Amino acid sequence: MTSTPESPKTTEPVLDVVPCGGLGEFGMNMMLVTWRDTAVLVDAGAMFPGPELPGVDLVIPDIGHLEERVGRLSAVVLTHGHEDHVGALPWVWPLLDGPVYGTPLTLALAGQKLAEHGVDPDERCRPLEAGGTAEIGEITLELIRVAHSMPDCVAVALHTPAGVIVHSGDFKIDQTPIDGQPLDVHRFAELGREGVLAFFGDSTNIERPGFTGSEVDVVPGLEEVFAGARGRVVVTAFASSLHRIRIIADLAEQFDRKLAFVGRGIVQNTDLATRLGHLRLPAGLQIRGSQVGDYSARRVVCVTTGSQGEPLAALSRIAIDDHRHVRLEPDDVVVFSARAIPGNRRAIGRVMDHIARRGAEVVHDERKAVHVSGHGSAEELKLLLSLVRPRYFVPIHGEYRYLAEHARVAARVTGGETTVLLAEDGDVIRLAPGEGRIAGRVAAGRLLIDGTRSGEVGNEVLRHRRHLAADGVVVPVIAVDRQAGRMEGTPDVVTRGVVLDDRTSVVLDTVPARLTEIIGEAGPEERSDRDLLAERVRIELQRLFRKQAGRRPLVLPVIMEV
């Protein structure tokens, strides 16, 4: 049940922080900070859907409570340009009264998103270099340089009348960054000496011991690939991994290969990075994708989109000989220079299989050191926490077990001097007046942005089709309150291909009532886990149809969190 944030017992101003997304999942990073009439949003991120959301292009935080709680936003500040930090900006834009702050590259990447939605990105965007400050009402915004997997990334310090809030953004402590811009250790230490009220720290790699490798650590592995390749080298990476792309460009020049960017996202981002001075290519190195066939295979390297197995990306089309300009040959090498996002491994595996069928070699980070993370590992997270020495610490960015582990580590590092507040999306973290605490909850959830997708018909799909042909499909649609864990309204039951004889009709009439019983019988943990709840519904309904109607329809529960 959503609880109303408690009211302070005095008339003092209130400093609240509400995570709208990113706590309990990877992606959708968004955090609201309010002081008096000033409301600042730190990041506006999206998340790519998993396989359980067919036909969905993008998942963003439900921002309805923003409008209810603050009305209008005074400003948005972006830590960097990755999709999980800027992808929801077009949907936040209508609530914005003030500017959007970020470094030049971040705003340029976010501007592309806005332009795709018919929004003029220059209308409110205010570039701010690392180290720069801006006034937002009574809050002073400060950007602090950090190292990540792309240039122009920052942490954010919000200097409020009640104290300083520091948001780490995504970071690692890279002593040899590609762009020569390491994390500003001195500024973090200075803030720690001056006093930090609350620190919100990235938890992505808390389970990885030690330190994350430097970006330059991929050079030997990629160099070995280039040296041994007798044919074309194809490297797939995130389109925003501009440090990695710069390394590949340097290796292309070193090994006398022409460089082609293949895929809309790669082309857009490298053009933008070149204009802003983050990517400098020697004259004559780059060729267009349409020119790849004009050169012998051993003289070309292609950088493509599609590292996550996206069916419409350039690599997926190359892998099935469906690309206009690039075809794989037996001597070619395809390098996956990106981490596999959880949920994408099956799609990535299918693309790798298609590549292997064409005789090309597949190289990934489990075979060779061709990828390093952009997020700090446990020792780096401890180090930054020791530098900042906050009064309160809140783990952010990651599924709940990562947040919980970061909370345990923080308690050991600070020796009890820092109070750890373990929060989730929708929690109202009240930092002033009084002691810091979770003061209530607001509605938090997800918005599914629909689109079209296409994919291959695999064995599982064929098995489902045979099942459908025999007994049809039953789709129970159940709305569950995410906070309270209870069912909302009456469930709908959709059938396709089910024979509606006397016995089946009787069973279908009883399904809504049975669903209510099933949800009621589930424990709190089960009701809060959509996958567990769906599996319970599937098993119980299949048992019901088998016993009372002698049918075995395919049951596909749809659990909607509201």
- As annotated, the active-site residues are 202, 375
> Is 3:439 a contact under the CB 8 Å cutoff?
no
The residue count of the chain comes to 562
CB 335 within 8 A of CB 225: yes
Q: Distance (Å, rounded) from C-alpha 517 to C-alpha 527? A: 13
CA–CA gap between residue 33 and residue 66 (Å, rounded): 11
Dihedral sign from CA coordinates of 122, 125, 131, 136: positive
Token pair listed for 352: 């790798």
76-87 in b/e burial notation, b at 16+ Cβ within 10 A?
bbbbbbbbbbbb
Residues with Cβ within 8 Å of 445's Cβ and at least 6 positions away in sequence, in order, are 61, 62, 482, 561, 562
Q: Which helix (H) or strand (E) holds 349?
A: helix 345-357
Contact status, residue 435 vs residue 426, Cβ threshold 8 Å: no
Please name which of 464, 492, 522 lies closest in space to residue 54, comparing C-alpha atoms. Answer: 464
Burial 269-303 (b: 16+ CB within 10 A, else e): bbebbeeeebbebeeeebbebeebeeeebeebbbb
- Please choose, from the candidates 220, 361, 364, 223, the residue with its C-alpha nearest in 3D space to the C-alpha of residue 297: 361
3-state DSSP assignment of residue 227 = helix
Tokens of 280: 């400098």
With beta carbons less than 8 A apart as the criterion, state whether 58 and 117 touch. no
Taking CA atoms, 555 is separated from 300, 312, 496, 537, in Å, by 50, 29, 11, 9
